[in-house]
Amino acid sequence: MLKRASKLFLSVIIVTIFVFLADSTESIANKKKKSAKKPKISYAKQVQNKKTERIQKLYEYFPIYEQWELSEIYPYNDFQFLNNFDTGSIFEDFNKRKLLLARVNDWLGVRYKLPGRSRNGVDCSNFVSLILGEALGMQIPAGAATQATIFPKIEKMEDLQFGDLVFFSGRRIKAKRIGHVGIYIGNGLFAHSQTSSGVTYTLLSDGYYTARYRFGGRIPRVELAFLQTNLYSRYSLTDWYVNKYL
């Protein structure tokens, strides 16, 4: 009787082991199938996919860009865009506006990285620094707090116009220190490198940014040599801007 029970017990153990091994083998096979179905997408491909998706937001909220993109000479309908446009801004120049957007679009989808300054990752202030360098040939330092001290201030959100920099406090809403920066495009849209999404377009009406908006900064229409010489003195640039245009 004892021998029979031992044999039965042994049979149960053997069957259990076989079932376990069969399940494990099937599980491994299923995992391999799943991994085979989902090939890894390269970072370059991810960037391209995001770029294609995000540029649609620009077309939606800033439709005149499609006309700019196709224009090789100054478009007649651009005069309407310049209604009430501050001629003291460097972006009164159509070619500079067109080039700025081309440079921004070229960076769409690049991931956020602190303190990144390349296609492998870029933070908000380095993104602004790089874009202005590529579009205007202007070398400005990184650091949102530093950038906020350079250009004449635009206090009210409703007074922002194309090409103005936009400054925000950081995670703490009431913080006085500037912790984030982007480039205003128009119709409530701005470009920036966002922690969660990388380089993208976002609406100022997004509650997070509305609550943290502090002021804008306008890049004056001056000779590049003058601008570069006075770059670290916002008061020099502001005085020049006020005396010439206001």
State the catalytic residues. Answer: 124, 180, 192
Residue 22, CA distances (Å) to 129, 140, 236 in order? 59, 64, 78
Is residue 95 a contact partner of residue 69, using CB atoms and an 8 Å limit? no
Q: Which two tokens stand for residue 122?
A: 């870029």
Cβ neighbours around 225 below 10 Å, total: 8
Report H helices in the chain.
2-37, 43-61, 64-70, 78-81, 94-107, 124-136, 144-147, 207-212, 224-229, 234-245
C-alpha span between 166 and 180 (Å, rounded):
8
